[in-house]
Structure 1
Amino acid sequence: MTSTRNTTRNTTRTTAGDTIATARHATQGVLDPLMQRPSHAARADSGTRTATVIASDGDAWFEVDFDDGQGSLRCRRVASCLLLPAPGDTVLITSTRQGDSFVIAVVVQADPRQATLAVDGDLTLVSRSGGIRAHSAGPMALESDTSIAMQSPEWRTQARRAHCEIGEMDYQGARIRFSVLVSRFVGRTCEVVLDRLNLLTRSSFRLTEEMEQVRAGQIDIQAEQTLRLHSKNTLLTSKGLVKVDAEQIHMG
Structure 2
Amino acid sequence: MPLLSIGSPAMKTTAHHPVRRATAAPRSARPIDADPAPPAGPPERCWTALLEAGRNGTLCVRQGAQVAAVRTAAGCLLVPAAGDTVLCFGTAPGDIWVLSVLERCAGTQERVLRCSGDTRLVVEGGQLALEADQLHLASHRLGVRAATATVSLDSTEFIGERVRMIAGTVKLVGSLLSTVVDRVNHFSQHYLRTTKGLDRVNAAHIECDATELLHLRGEHALINGAKLVKTRGAQIHFG
TM-score higher than 0.5: yes
Match of 2:116 among 120, 133, 145: 120
1: CA distance, partners of 2:173 / 2:209? 31
User: What is the aligned partner in structure 1 of residue 204 from structure 2?
Assistant: 210
Which residue matches 2:214?
219
Partner in structure 2 of residue 49 of structure 1: 47
1:188 to 182, 186, 195: 182
Distance in 1 separating the partners of 2:54 and 2:172: 52
Deviation at 1:205, TM superposition (A): 3.5
Letter in 2 for 1:93: C
Contact 2:69–2:94 (CA<8 Å) still a contact in 1?
no
Following TM superposition, by how much is the alpha carbon of 1:112 offset from its aligned partner in structure 2, in angstroms? 7.8
Structure 2 gaps, min length 5: 1-17
1:11 CA displacement: 5.1
Task: Name the structure 2 match of 1:166.
Answer: 160
Aligned partners of 1:50 and 1:115: how far apart in 2?
Answer: 20
Cα distance, 1:203 vs. partner? 1.7
Task: Say whether the 8 Å CA contact 1:53–1:63 is kept in structure 2.
Answer: yes
**How far is the alpha carbon of 1:71 from its aligned partner?**
3.4
Q: CA deviation at 1:64?
A: 2.3
Quick one: distance in 2 between partners of 1:112 and 1:94?
27
* Match in the other structure for 1:142: 137
Report whether the alignment pairs 1:63 with 2:77.
no
Taking structure 2 as the reference length, the TM-score comes to 0.78
Shift of 1:58: 9.0
Instruction: Count residues with an aligned counterpart.
Output: 215
AA at the equivalent of 2:155: R
TM-score of the two chains, using structure 1 as the length reference: 0.74
Q: How does 1:78-117 map to 2 (within 5 A)?
A: 78-97=73-92, 99-111=94-106, 114-117=110-113
Q: What is the deviation of 1:48?
A: 0.8
Distance in 1 between the 2:111 and 2:141 partners? Answer: 24
What's the counterpart of residue 129 of structure 1? 125
Greater fraction of residues in helix: 1
Letter paired with 2:105: A
Query: What are the Cα deviations for residues 115-138 of structure 1, in whole angstroms up to 9, with x where unaligned?
Result: 2111111111011222221111x2
Query: Does the 8 Å contact 1:49/1:92 carry over to 2?
Result: yes
Identical positions, percent:
17
**Paired residues of 1:62 and 1:77 also in contact (CA < 8 A):** no
Alpha-carbon offset, residue 173 of structure 1: 1.0
Structure 1 unaligned segments of length 5 or more: list them. 1-9, 246-252
Q: Match for residue 234 of structure 1? A: 229
Per-residue CA distance 1:124-173 (angstroms, 9 max, x = gap): 1011222221111x2110001x2111111111111100110010111111
TM-aligned CA deviation for residue 179 of structure 1: 0.5
Q: CA RMSD in A?
A: 3.3
Q: What is the alpha-carbon distance in structure 1 between the residues aligned to residue 52 and residue 112 of structure 2?
A: 17
> Contact conserved, 2:90 with 2:96, CA < 8 A, in 1?
yes
Aligned match for 1:197, one of 191, 202, 205: 191
Does structure 2 conserve the Cα–Cα contact (< 8 Å) formed by 1:56 and 1:86? no
Determine if contact 2:88/2:99 at 8 Å carries over to the other structure.
yes
Amino acid at match of 1:229: I
